[in-house]
Structure 1
């Protein structure tokens, strides 16, 4: 008996790649580096600033200038976080149907609260989420189970009665380790080299409305 469905945000509910990538390419231009294509950006968009800075500039978290690059990138993203971002087709229809069935829904994302608090209200969800857990809400982010348990506590549901939907390996790991049923969003930001068959989600869906076949 599924009582709640929780979702990742970037690449699962919302197509944020245009704004994430636009911020990256503006930063790269400032540093006289070549722009990255949207196809390249989409494969790394789920990995946040770390993945995008590695893609664009070869800067990884162990690089001495990483903190400076990350600050610059996040400031640039902050100036355009909702410019081109939109919900994926079918998301609002899905959420409306969940509400009709009395199933709660919410968001667990690794995106910092700095952005989720502003972005989520602008996305135009048919029904507001019952809970939003950001990457820095609990002090740990996915694949930690802390955000998963925190969300369940907030909406008073048990993990075993919860589905978690995401497009990254850490989403599946976090959901499974928390005792939830996991669903891979195949329309998301999945790289060609990602071996999704090794992630072992309970279900795989090709579009948001396919979730209704599982419930």
Structure 2
């Protein structure tokens, strides 16, 4: 296989461990409605599914209660905005990985479903020392993964062929998005895998149990 020329990464659950701050946000929301503390393992497994899933879990809502979920999603995000930098940090091995990519002058960047309002703030605070070459959010392309729009934008920004590029993420939709963009795919199995799911079943070309394993492709 030709050398990989672009490493594109998901953000939450792949580069950054954001679960502690989401856990804090969920519990603040639950306290407001006189509910007991949430289960950390459950919250962690839902982070990559987005704020709507977290809000539904936090207030024990049924999936068809769409209006209530949307209302409390906004409520949760307002809480999260105030604490999203408190405990978030790169996963073990990520700093070394990104430093190595920069040292070798290998292209890399971030494609996330996180709104730019949050993603940019967090990336600047937690990853700025690595000078991320690009950050693509749904706001930028008008679509969320598994649609390939964000990854196609990343390929254009980096002027890279999809066949020589890899997208790495911790959710099934990340792998679907990578395939939709005709990229090589890698599953970050150390991330926020839904409890009922298994990264081995996603059809990714590579499975990474630790961020340091990604270095073997550089």
TM-score by length of 1: 0.95
Unmatched 5+ stretches in structure 1:
none
CA separation in 2, counterparts of 1:4 and 1:64?
40
Q: What is the CA-CA distance between 1:197 and the residue it aligns to? A: 2.8
Partner in structure 2 of residue 66 of structure 1: 69
Q: What is the CA-CA distance between 1:136 and the residue it aligns to? A: 2.3
Which structure 2 residues correspond to residues 196-215 of structure 1 after superposition, within 5 A? 196-215=199-218
Which structure 2 residues correspond to residues 1-215 of structure 1 after superposition, within 5 A? 1-59=3-61, 60=63, 62-215=65-218
CA separation in 2, counterparts of 1:61 and 1:153?
38
Q: Secondary structure at the match of 1:79?
A: helix
Note the alpha carbon deviations across 1:117-172, whole angstroms, 9 max, x for none. 21101004542111101132211011000011011111211211111111000000
Q: Secondary structure at the match of 2:57?
A: helix
CA separation in 1, counterparts of 2:165 and 2:129?
20
Note the alpha carbon deviations across 1:41-85, whole angstroms, 9 max, x for none. 111111111121122223347422222211111100000110110
Structure with greater helix percent: 2
- Greater mean deviation of Cα atoms: 166-175 or 185-194: 185-194
Q: Secondary structure at the match of 2:207?
A: strand
Q: Which runs of 4+ in 1 moved over 6 A?
A: none
- Give the aligned length: 215
TM-score by length of 2: 0.94
Q: Secondary structure at the match of 2:166?
A: strand
Q: What is the CA-CA distance between 1:96 and the residue it aligns to? A: 1.1
Aligned-CA RMSD value: 1.4
